Amino acid sequence: MKKLNKRAQSEIAGFVLIVAIVLIGLMVFLVLSLKKTNEIQNVEAENMLSSILKYTTECSTQPPIMNNIEDLIIECNKNSICINTNEGSCEYLQKILNKMLPDLTRTDQMLSAYQLSISPKIGGNPNILIKSGNCTGTVYMTQKLVKAGVAEDIVLKLSFCYKTSS
């Protein structure tokens, strides 16, 4: 009787061991697949951001020179005013980016979502955040630093997602 009991115990121990090995294997597999970073640096995003920054606006903080978006970001940081339109540079920047991004992304049928954030380098919430759509898959992104003074660098981050092909 005692011998039978011992045998049953070792059976249970064996079964538990097998279950433990299987669970460890599954956990390793899960950890490896979830650990993968979901954000990829992308050349297309880089090109898009670079052409956005070079776009010449109708705002001029120092007439007759027309500011491009990059200048406007710096001017927004200084709270300057567009002298020719009598409008705050930040309001103008927000307005133009809100109009520009949907127009740009409309040309790429595969884009499902996008987000552009302009925020101070050292912490803080984004000054400007424009986004549309919901991203589920891999995020393609690019980042650029705009020099707006020694301690006031601004970080621009553009990210977008493509529709997943079924």
Partner 1 sequence: MVSNKAQFRIQQMAFMIVAVFFFFILVGVAYISYQYKTIQQSYQELQKEEAMRSLQILTNMPEIGCSQEYMCIDEDKIYALAVKKGYGNAYFWPIASIRVYKIYPAFENQNIIDCPAPNCNYYNVYDSGQKNVQEYATYVSLCKKVREGGYTFERCEIGKLSVGVKLNEKAE
Q: Which residues bind partner 1 (CB under 8 A)?
A: 18, 22, 25-26, 29, 33, 40, 43-44, 47-48, 50-52, 54-56, 63-66, 68, 100, 103-104, 106-107
Phi-psi region of 33 (alpha: psi -120 to 50; beta: other; left: phi over 0): alpha
Q: Which is nearer to partner 1, 66 or 128 (CB)?
A: 66
User: Among residues 55, 86, 87, which one has the least CA distance to residue 69?
Assistant: 55
Q: How far is the CB of 120 from partner 1 (least distance, A)?
A: 24
How far is residue 24's CA from residue 50's CA, in Å, rounded to a whole number? 47
Q: Which is nearer to partner 1, 13 or 22 (CB)?
A: 22
Q: Which is nearer to partner 1, 63 or 124 (CB)?
A: 63
How far is residue 24's CA from residue 127's CA, in Å, rounded to a whole number? 45
Q: In this structure, are residues 109 and 136 in contact, taking their beta carbons and an 8 Å threshold?
A: no
Q: Which is nearer to partner 1, 24 or 149 (CB)?
A: 24
Q: How far is the CB of 122 from partner 1 (least distance, A)?
A: 27
Identify the DSSP state of 91: H
Using DSSP bridges, classify how beta strands 81-82 and 87-88 pair: parallel, antiparallel or unpaired.
antiparallel
Q: How far is the CB of 125 from partner 1 (least distance, A)?
A: 27
Q: In this structure, are residues 61 and 83 in contact, taking their beta carbons and an 8 Å threshold?
A: yes
Q: How far is the CB of 145 from partner 1 (least distance, A)?
A: 15
